[in-house]
Amino acid sequence: MKRNIFFILLFCSAMFGCKKDKELLYNSQDNVYLDYTVKDTLSYSFALHVSQAQDTIWVPVIISGNRVNHDRHFQMSVVPDSTTAIATVDYEPLKSSYTMPADSGVVHIPVIIKGTDTTLVNKSVVLTVRVSGGTDFASLFNESIRTKKILFSNRLEEPAWWPDWQGELGDYSRTKHQLFLISSGTIDLGMVTGNPTAYEIIPAALYFISNFDNFLADPFTWVSQNPTKGYVLTPRNDGTGDYDFYSTIDPAKKFHLQYFPSVNKYLFIDENGNQVTTN
């Protein structure tokens, strides 16, 4: 009898053990968030795009969850407490709702910023945006992953790539940045940190930095060798032996090239009164 009971139990165990496992399915609300791989703040300067009165920042909104075969809607709004930009003056107001197209996992939302405010020459403003679920998504993610800042002005801002090249360029200043843009041959050295293909951009970046170094070492030769760029050096009428460096198209914007007799050398002076050097 005990032996029969043993076989019955063994048979039942085998039957239950062979029962097909229930399929595990994704069963959570779909969310939306913003994604930038470098920083939570985007920097933009109309000083790099002098012919543009406005520009569009494309903000990627991504879903966490399933794609579906119909359109869905979410919201993106301005965060007042961390925004200094003025609606209609510095940016176009956002829409009340945005669409995630059918079968899509990401959509790029246009945020239109403006550079016509004359005060942007002397200051930067911040536009902070935050995405939320709207009618078809949840807002369960932390605000930090749903919120991004856009810092912009009509003056130069430190680019994200500068810290990666600070060993070659030295500390940042707007004057140094502007002179780099004029003389190097590029506006972007590219990112090295976290870039698996950084080795591909390093030779070109070092070439551009070398151009900048040569310019700082001898701006007089650079002017004579680059007449089509339209820059000139004219003596200051103050008896110092100093020069002004400027574009003939915009003569009001001058860069001070100071003479240092103790070393018989000319060096540019930045907005903070410091010498512009790369070391």
Summarize the confidence of residues 249-261 as an average pLDDT: 90
Please write the tens of the pLDDT for every residue from 212-254.
999 999 999 999 999 999 999 999 999 899 999 998 887 878 9
CA 181 to chain centre: 17
Asked whether residue 36 falls in the same domain as residue 97, the answer is yes
Residue whose pair of structure tokens reads 């070439």 in the numeric block: 207
Report yes or no on 21 lying in a domain: no
Report yes or no on 259 lying in a domain: yes
Helices and strands, counts by H and E, the chain:
6, 12
Please write the tens of the pLDDT for every residue from 103-115.
999 999 999 999 9
Identify the band that residue 52 occupies on the pLDDT scale cut at 50, 70 and 90.
confident
Asked whether residue 82 falls in the same domain as residue 39, the answer is yes
Asked whether residue 227 falls in the same domain as residue 139, the answer is no
Largest interatomic CA distance in the chain: 120
* pLDDT > 70 in the chain, percent: 88
* Structure token pair of residue 187: 């506006």
Report yes or no on 190 lying in a domain: yes
pLDDT at 24 over 50: no
Report yes or no on 20 lying in a domain: no
Q: For residues 156 and 48, is the Cβ–Cβ distance under 8 A?
A: yes
Q: Which residue range(s) make up the domain with 199?
A: 162-268
pTM above 0.85, yes or no: no
pLDDT at 53 over 90: no
Asked whether residue 136 falls in the same domain as residue 217, the answer is no
Asked whether residue 73 falls in the same domain as residue 187, the answer is no
Nearest to 83 by CA among 73, 97, 94: 94
- Structural domains counted in the chain: 2
Asked whether residue 187 falls in the same domain as residue 73, the answer is no
* Structure token pair of residue 53: 């009165």
What pLDDT sits at residue 48? 82
pLDDT at 17 over 60: no
Report yes or no on 43 lying in a domain: yes
Which of 119, 153, 187 is the last residue in one of the domains? 153
d(CA 152, CA 244): 28
Which of 129, 153, 177 is the last residue in one of the domains? 153
Asked whether residue 147 falls in the same domain as residue 166, the answer is no
Residue 114 maps to which CATH number? 2.60.40.1740
Asked whether residue 109 falls in the same domain as residue 178, the answer is no
Report yes or no on 16 lying in a domain: no
Report yes or no on 6 lying in a domain: no
